[in-house]
Amino acid sequence: MSFELNLRHRIGGTQITFDAQTAVPLMALVGPSGAGKTTVLNMIAGLVRPDHGRIAVGGRVLFDSATGVNCPPDARRAGYVFQDNRLFPHLRVGANLRYGEKLAPPDARWITQREVIAFLGIAHLLDRWPANLSGGEARRVAIGRALLAGPRFLLMDEPLTSLDPARAEEILRVVERIRDELELPVLYVSHASAEVARLTACILSLP
Model confidence over 41-95: pLDDT tens digits?
999 999 999 999 999 998 899 999 999 999 999 899 999 999 999 999 999 999 9
Q: Is residue 13 part of a domain?
A: no
Q: Is residue 144 part of a domain?
A: yes
Q: Is residue 19 part of a domain?
A: no
CA-to-CA distance for 24 and 115, rounded, in angstroms? 25
Taking the model in full, what pTM does it have?
0.92
Instruction: Give the CATH number of the domain where residue 110 resides.
Output: 3.40.50.300
Condensed to tens digits (0 to 9), the pLDDT of residues 94-137 reads 999 999 998 888 888 899 999 999 999 999 999 999 999 999 99
Q: Is residue 79 part of a domain?
A: yes
CA-to-CA distance for 90 and 107, rounded, in angstroms? 29
- Annotate 163-185 with b (16+ C-beta within 10 A) or e (fewer): beeebbebbbebbeebbeebebb
Q: Is 56 helix (H, G, I), strand (E, B) or coil?
A: strand
Mean pLDDT in residue range 28-48? 91
Q: Please report how the helices 135-148 and 165-177 are oriented relative to each other, as an axis angle in degrees rounded to 10.
A: 20
Which residue segment(s) compose the domain that 102 sits in?
24-35+73-205
How high is the pLDDT of residue 107? 85
Instruction: Decide: 18 and 7 in contact? Cβ < 8 Å.
Output: yes
CA-to-CA distance for 149 and 89, rounded, in angstroms? 19
Q: Is residue 127 part of a domain?
A: yes
Condensed to tens digits (0 to 9), the pLDDT of residues 176-199 reads 999 999 988 899 999 887 788 899
CA-to-CA distance for 149 and 78, rounded, in angstroms? 8
Q: Is residue 109 part of a domain?
A: yes
Residue of 58 and 23 predicted with greater confidence: 58
Q: Is residue 80 part of a domain?
A: yes
Domain count, the chain: 1
Query: What would the DSSP string read from start to end of 77-133?
Result: -EEEE-TT----TTS-HHHHHHHHHHTS-GGG--S-HHHHHHHHT-GGGTTS-GGGS
Bridging pattern class, strands 26-30 and 186-190: parallel
Q: Is residue 49 part of a domain?
A: no
